[in-house]
Chain A
Amino acid sequence: GAGVSQTPSNKVTEKGKYVELRCDPISGHTALYWYRQSLGQGPEFLIYFQGTGAADDSGLPNDRFFAVRPEGSVSTLKIQRTERGDSAVYLCASSLASGNTDTQYFGPGTRLTVL
């Protein structure tokens, strides 16, 4: 079946602009996660959705970052007033449930470059 998809694959924007990154999880997966991977680092947790609600947004770096999942499927990560330090690969993952042993399946990521 289809895996996690993310669009766009690449996004170049100018400092101060607004961007939206989209994630389409595996069908039937109730849990959805966003991670950010900076150059030379492992992915870092941003936010976790269970269904439509954000169950944990403790990883969002500041209030310029926001994410939604209005119908419990597709999610959008929104970044306002982008800064050069926001440049990274944004990864989305989904899982059937959210227990310790549940496997998170990752999408290919969106590479965001802020000029």
Chain B
Amino acid sequence: AQSVTQLGSHVSVSEGALVLLRCNYSSSVPPYLFWYVQYPNQGLQLLLKYTSAATLVKGINGFEAEFKKSETSFHLTKPSAHMSDAAEYFCAVKGGGSNYKLTFGKGTLLTVNP
């Protein structure tokens, strides 16, 4: 079975500071990993995905994530936080027999302070 652990249910940063949201996965097969963002009262929007082509993945809005197999991690980063980045972020994994099913972490709420 696959699973995702997001360390820190709430992360608070100052505007302009580095954003680091942590995601560790467990998978018995090569994983496919995704980061989604959810703004209040909106659906989930894909930020980026890892599909084994390159370990450093660049996404929308200046976010990127690096797949590290040795650490079973796929942490999300952004060099400089904007107020508009305040949202909930979900890491998710796919792979194996149920290659259509996304398994999500519990999410990390990011607040950005002026």
Q: Which of B59-114 contact A (CB under 8 A)?
A: 90, 92, 94-95, 98-107
**Contact of B44 with A91 in the complex, beta carbons under 8 Å:** yes
Number of A-B contacts (CB under 8 A): 66
* Residues of the A chain whose Cβ atoms lie less than 8 Å from the Cβ of B51: 100-101
Closest residue of chain B to A59, judged by CB? B101
**Contact of A56 with B98 in the complex, beta carbons under 8 Å:** yes
Q: Which of A68-96 contact B (CB under 8 A)?
A: 91, 93, 95
**Contact of B43 with A33 in the complex, beta carbons under 8 Å:** no
Interface of chain A, main secondary structure? loop
* Residues of the B chain whose Cβ atoms lie less than 8 Å from the Cβ of A106: 36, 43-45
Q: Which of A16-43 contact B (CB under 8 A)?
A: 31, 33, 35, 40-43
Chain B contacts to A: CB under 8 angstroms: 4, 9, 32, 34, 36, 41-46, 49, 51, 90, 92, 94-95, 98-107
Interchain residue pairs A-B with the least CB separation, the first 5: A42-B104, A106-B43, A98-B100, A106-B44, A101-B51
Pairs across A and B, CB under 8 Å, 29 listed: A3-B43, A4-B43, A33-B100, A33-B101, A35-B102, A40-B9, A40-B107, A41-B107, A42-B92, A42-B104, A43-B102, A44-B104, A45-B101, A45-B102, A48-B101, A55-B100, A56-B98, A56-B100, A59-B101, A91-B44, A95-B100, A98-B99, A98-B100, A100-B32, A100-B95, A101-B51, A102-B100, A103-B46, A105-B46
Chain A contacts to B: CB under 8 angstroms: 3-4, 31, 33, 35, 40-45, 48, 55-56, 59, 91, 93, 95, 98-109
